[in-house]
Amino acid sequence: MVNMINRRAAITQAPQPGHLNGVLPAAPRGRIAMLDDYIEPSQTFVTCPNQDVVYGLGFFSLDEEPVVIQVPDFGDRFWVYALYDARTDQFGRLGKPYGTKPGFYLLVGPKWQGLKPAGITNVLRCPTSLANAIPRVFQDDTPEDKSAMQWGIDYFNRTGTAKSNMFDNRPNETQYFYTDYDSAGGELNGNGSYEITFAAGQEPPVNGFWSLTLYNDRHLFCAMAALGFSRARPQCSQYGGSPNASRKQSAKARNLAEGRRPSRWAT
């Protein structure tokens, strides 16, 4: 909870929704800022970020100021508005996994009383006054989809998680599978080259998208990875299918930054 309070204090100093140091969404209390592209390796706010989504961030004091979040029509695109209380436990259900309809959703704190206002699709109650939202919206790595994603920047247990992967999603929204070791049991290292292969017809079964992400020893993006291995989606689409399911799919990871090697890789 202290971690959340400190993060809120830092992020909400922003005078308007924007990007802190050019890489992290930041906004005043009660508002959400969105990135306009993939997250940069230089951000250290969240570990184990995903390389296929555009992130947003906002902090709220719901007993003092309920917040209305607008959900646009995302069509078939995968998206989730992950909502967290002061303990970083998720509350509410907004996203494609829940069949959420476009509309206006009111976030309220534990002391809020009243009827659903006119024009509000649903009321979502947080068990603590302090809350935050981290929207995640899928973006394909094409110029056309990046252009389509320019939809603006302002749409109105936990100790272990806070230490390792704070602000992770519910299991039915996102599944993370990690390894720090290769098939021989050796620790992944920037001096090595690695290949992961899915046999024909055995790609990960998903209702959204899947990807392979390379992290450094702090579970953050590695700058070298961004240069040579930041989009490891062999024939992957946002719908989880493969354009050619009759052949195997492979992805290779190796250090492409001459003279600069990460101390350890984790995928």
Q: Does 260 or 221 have the greater pLDDT score?
A: 221
118 token code pair: 């006119």
pLDDT above 70 for 225? no
Whether residue 156 contacts residue 69, with contact meaning beta carbons closer than 8 Å, is answered with yes
Q: How confident is the model at residue 166 (pLDDT cuts 50, 70, 90)?
A: low
208 CB-side CA count, 13 A: 21
Q: How confident is the model at residue 84 (pLDDT cuts 50, 70, 90)?
A: very high
Residue 230 to residue 212: CA distance in whole angstroms: 9
Mean pLDDT calculated for residue range 76-92: 93
Residue 96: predicted pLDDT? 94
- Over the range 52-78, which residues count as b (16 or more CB within 10 Å of their CB) and which as e? bbbbbbbbbbbbeebbebebeeeeebb
CATH, residue 255: 2.60.120
Q: How many domains in the chain?
A: 2
> Which DSSP category does 176 fall into?
-
52 token code pair: 């296929």
CA 164 to chain centre: 15
Residue 238: predicted pLDDT? 39
* 44-48, 103-107, 116-120, 225-229, range with the lowest pLDDT: 225-229
- Report the C-alpha dihedral over residues 73, 38, 3, 172, rounded to 10 degrees: 50
Q: Does 85 or 208 have the greater pLDDT score?
A: 85
Q: Is 0.85 topped by the overall pTM?
A: no
* Residue 169 one-letter amino acid: N
Mean pLDDT calculated for residue range 231-248: 43
Does one domain contain both 127 and 257? no
Does one domain contain both 112 and 34? yes
CATH, residue 56: 2.60.40
Residue 169: predicted pLDDT? 67
247 token code pair: 């052949």
Residue 255: predicted pLDDT? 57
Sheet containing 103-108: which strands, arranged edge to edge?
A: 67-71, 103-108, 122-125
* Residue 174 one-letter amino acid: T
Please name the residues in contact with 86: beta carbons below 8 A apart, sequence gap of 6 or more. 1, 4, 5, 128, 129, 130, 131
pLDDT above 60 for 134? yes
Whether residue 31 contacts residue 155, with contact meaning beta carbons closer than 8 Å, is answered with no
- Domain holding 124, by residue range, is 2-164
Which range of 38-42, 82-86, 142-146 scores highest in mean pLDDT? It is: 82-86
pLDDT above 60 for 10? yes
In a domain, 170, yes or no: no
Mean pLDDT calculated for residue range 231-241: 39
pLDDT digits (tens, 9 = 90+) for 12-47: 998 888 888 877 889 999 999 988 888 888 877 777
In a domain, 172, yes or no: no
In a domain, 260, yes or no: yes
In a domain, 197, yes or no: yes
Percent of the chain with pLDDT over 90: 29
- For Cα atoms 74, 62, 71, give the angle at the middle one, nearest 5 degrees: 10
Residue 22: predicted pLDDT? 79
In a domain, 219, yes or no: yes
Closest by CA position to 194, among listed 264, 103, 99, 146:
264
Q: Where a domain ends, among 141, 164, 187? A: 164
Q: Does 25 or 217 have the greater pLDDT score?
A: 25
